[in-house]
Structure 1
Amino acid sequence: MNYLIYTYFLLIVKVILSCQTKLKISGTVDNGWEFVRERFQENFEQQRELGASIAVYYQGKLVVDLYGGWFNRSRLKSYENDTLQLVFSASKGLVAATVALCVQRGLLNYSELVIKYWPEYGQNDKGNTTVADIMSHRAGLPLDSGMVEDYYNWTGMVHYLEQGQPLWTPGSKHGYHAVTYGWLAGELVRRVDPKKRSLGQFIREEIAQPLDIEFYIGLPSVEDYRVSLLDIKPIDDGSNNTLVEPYSKFNEKAFRQAEIPAANGVTNARSIARLYASLIGDVDDKKRYKRLLNDDIFRQATTSNTPENELDYLLNITTNLSMGFFIMNEMFSLFGHEVFGHLGAGGSIGLAVPSKNLSFASDGMFENIDDPSTFWHCSNGLNYLKSCPAPLVWSQQLQQCSWRVDPPVVVTAASSPIPITATETLPITITTESDLPYQCSNYKSITDGTRRTTNKHVDAETDNTFFKSSPTWVRFEGDAGTRLANYSVPHGRCGSEGSGWVKYPTDPEVGETEIQTACFNWNGMSCIWPKKISVTNCGGFLVYALVAPSLSDARYCTI
């Protein structure tokens, strides 16, 4: 009897699973935007996403509203229209819009000293800090306590910041305030709000409800069941151990219900895109919603406050910040200019292009800090629209340079790599140049021998200076060796503190390109801040599409 029950149980489970394994992509697209659906579906078919949503507003109208995939890794429930997602730093765009609204209402002024609104903030050499310094990450207080549990105590974090000593003279330079930005800006809003509401409540009543969007800072418990949790996979640190922290904290209910404005917004792509659409114009769906900011305040909020070519003090890369938004002109140069927005972990991004009257958003559920794969893949088409919408014709020329705006995405390796020794060379295949991809004849040659894994000196230029946030195709040759290191390189090799190597390397077929993961060995962690890279086999040599590492002292190592 027990055997029969067990057999029936297995059959039932099999039937349920067979009914649930078909990929479901839902939503709407207007005429002329069908290619976005195709690209969105490709993400799932190629295992770039587990569950995600994507939305586009054009001329104030929602023209793309798609969602699909799975609610979680079990694949028993679909990612639906009402699914919500943690969007991490994409929340900062909402915070920036909230402060701008307070400026518009005369409650705040970007040029005023913070102590006018928050007297206690003036301790320990912070008295000359302006509101603009806080909003453009120039306040000098980028570091928090490092304990996620401390984030749940708003008053405690405010006191921590009041007593903090700035790392630099406020206003003299900028450095990304990854988490502290939210409490700094949020406390300003709370101080000037006549009703003294929390930031989360202010946003709900003054922005979310009037715009008819869902964007929570401090998720109500009754909505928690709708949240698709991060798909957390333990990080291999190169030993027999795996690293799960700090990602596991993000899936805790306490994290979502706290008010951590810089990092724990819960929303969907439709709401993010609508928010950005409201910043650049009226939003007209079934009824008309007036623009959130007037022209003057909009210009103040989205004009760069970063000197040209100034390096981020912490990241050691060039970034461009306005009053809370990233200016993304270089990253999205094909849009023209005036692109602004904010990215977040898991595949989240919101941006707007005022000159095109276009806003875009996506969200996702992978834990990768800098892999908004839905955006990167789907926007490969959007980036080429000189005026939107436009004839969706992919010319050969645009396809050749698509790598410029379509960075690599995460691919989970199915098995451990077969080590490649430093003396191995690629088999030479006879082929014509026309058979090979564009990058096989358009790359930057690197011959610097200090990149070799045998170099134990830390005295070379870091790759945050050498590379940019957008991919650069390079070939290693001469003294630099022929390929990136294929094993966990010890800390402090190849001219830097953070030694870069490729996890699970394989050589693609001639003329083919594969996505791989570069890791950096830093301070005992062999795979901190992984980066997605591309490698192409050009018939006798490899070329790599590399980006700047997130660590200030990191370098790609070669063999």
Structure 2
Amino acid sequence: MKVEGFTEEGYDAVRQVFQRLVDEGRETGAGVSVWRDGREVVRLSGGWADVQRQRPWRDDTLVQPYSLSKTFATLAALVAVRDGALALDEPVAAYWKEYGVRGKDRTTLRQVLTHQAGQPRFPQEAADLDLLDDAGLRESLARTAPEYAPGTALGEHALTYGHLIDGILRAATGRSLQEVFDSVVRPALALDAWFGVPDTELERVADLEYASPDWPRQLHAAPWLQIPDGALDTRRTNSRAWRQTVFAAANLHTTATAMARFFSSITSEEGPLRELLGPQLHTELLTSQITDHDHVFGTRLTWTLGFIRDRGKIAKGGIGGSAAWWSLNHHHSCAYLTRRLDDHSRAAEIATALGDNLAVVGED
């Protein structure tokens, strides 16, 4: 299948790599976008948006990038900090009273945002809850003890991240994560991205599919993704009910162009992200907060409040292969969003064509 779209001069290698991925069958539906100097210099679409292979992937196709979603849950929390409704280093229990039990009374928002709150997965008591039982899952996190003392270890809060932030926002502001995202974050950043896809946009959403039937069981993060049942089950994640709910650790739906455009200005002192958060919080967002062994990833990495950072990039990835990053070395951004759930080798090859190293972007 021919790859559609454009590449400006100097970016032909990106098209060649992407075309090869499609030709070899390693990619069955994805979009690539690269931004530099405030404009899109690469926009490519390849493969199909549906399992039946009747809808070609378009440049406005929406897809779920799993943990790339977490960055935008972070921004909803930081808006509340900006407004004075929350503070990064005050105990969460000062707002969410029910949360301050069983060793969680001193847990801070900063620890939640940097995956140090000790709740990298939902507790066993949540095993019988439905994937879409938003309130029940939040309450299970409030009742249960952390797996480790908050602030003493690191492990990406793979499925719990959005529910924790949502619970804190509801308690502190009376508004849900979705309400803050829809009313403040999305319009301020002009994002084509949705927590809860509206009826008018559903026809743009791509179906997820496994690269192999064993894919969910091959993941290093699999033990942290089992409760509640269904987060990796495409029968659930391709359903209208899932697409229109909010599971903010995983189910933002967005486009490659929207993500690359967002990442293109994350460090800008005149950009919309700094305007949204203000100089102090913008700096906090991008500053390295902790470097340690992340037990969920199984590797040593550095977290900011909302990204993974190293000497060459500020990035976030999602289980299944989607990734977006800002190159600190080359001053361009790139997003590779896919519906074919596999490893990150495809995005890594695109990164290599751009002179970037995508060694660690996040596995869930």
State the TM-score, normalizing by the size of structure 2.
Answer: 0.85
Aligned counterpart, 1:253: 240
Matches within 5 A, 1:91-110: 91-110=69-88
Distance verdict in 2 for CA 1:406–1:281, change over 3 Å: closer
Give, in whole Å, the separation in 2 of the partners of 1:75 and 1:159.
40
Aligned counterpart, 2:115: 137
| Structure 1 consecutive aligned stretches of length 4 or more whose deviation exceeds 4 Å | 145-149, 288-291
Distance verdict in 2 for CA 1:45–1:221, change over 3 Å: same
Report the AA paired with residue 263 of structure 1. A
Return the structure number with greater relative CO, CA threshold 8 A, min gap 6.
Answer: 2
Aligned counterpart, 1:276: 263
Offset at residue 314 of structure 1 (A): 4.5
Give, in whole Å, the separation in 1 of the partners of 2:93 and 2:358.
44
Give, in whole Å, the separation in 2 of the partners of 1:306 and 1:293.
21
Gaps of 5+ in 2: 219-228
Aligned counterpart, 1:162: 142
What secondary structure is seen at the aligned counterpart in 2 of 1:27? strand
Offset at residue 290 of structure 1 (A): 7.3
**Number of residue-to-residue matches in the alignment:** 346
2:2/2:19 contact within 8 Å kept: no
Give, in whole Å, the separation in 2 of the partners of 1:283 and 1:214.
21
Q: Do residues 297 (structure 1) and 281 (structure 2) align?
A: yes
Report the AA paired with residue 272 of structure 1. M
State the TM-score, normalizing by the size of structure 1.
Answer: 0.57
Aligned counterpart, 1:347: 321
Report the AA paired with residue 208 of structure 2. L
1:87/1:344 contact within 8 Å kept: yes
Offset at residue 74 of structure 1 (A): 3.0
Out of 93, 101, 106, the position equivalent to 1:123 is 101
Superimposed CA distance per residue, residues 176-208 of structure 1 (whole angstroms, 9 cap, x where no aligned partner): 210011111232233344xx3321232122122
Report the AA paired with residue 235 of structure 1. D
Offset at residue 258 of structure 1 (A): 1.6
Matches within 5 A, 1:454-465: none
Out of 8, 30, 35, the position equivalent to 1:52 is 30
Aligned counterpart, 1:37: 15
Aligned counterpart, 1:434: none
Out of 339, 348, 353, the position equivalent to 1:365 is 339
What secondary structure is seen at the aligned counterpart in 1 of 2:247? coil
Distance verdict in 2 for CA 1:119–1:149, change over 3 Å: closer
What secondary structure is seen at the aligned counterpart in 2 of 1:228? coil
Matches within 5 A, 1:178-197: 178-193=158-173, 196-197=174-175
Q: Do residues 318 (structure 1) and 300 (structure 2) align?
A: yes
- Rg larger in structure: 1
Q: Do residues 382 (structure 1) and 354 (structure 2) align?
A: yes
Distance verdict in 2 for CA 1:177–1:365, change over 3 Å: same
Aligned counterpart, 1:77: 55
2:266/2:273 contact within 8 Å kept: no
Offset at residue 231 of structure 1 (A): 1.9
Q: Do residues 87 (structure 1) and 59 (structure 2) align?
A: no
Distance verdict in 2 for CA 1:298–1:357, change over 3 Å: farther
Matches within 5 A, 1:525-540: none
Give, in whole Å, the separation in 1 of the partners of 2:190 and 2:278.
19
What secondary structure is seen at the aligned counterpart in 1 of 2:352? helix
Larger fraction in helix: 2
Q: Do residues 265 (structure 1) and 252 (structure 2) align?
A: yes
Gaps of 5+ in 1: 1-22, 239-243, 330-336, 385-404, 408-468, 471-549, 551-559
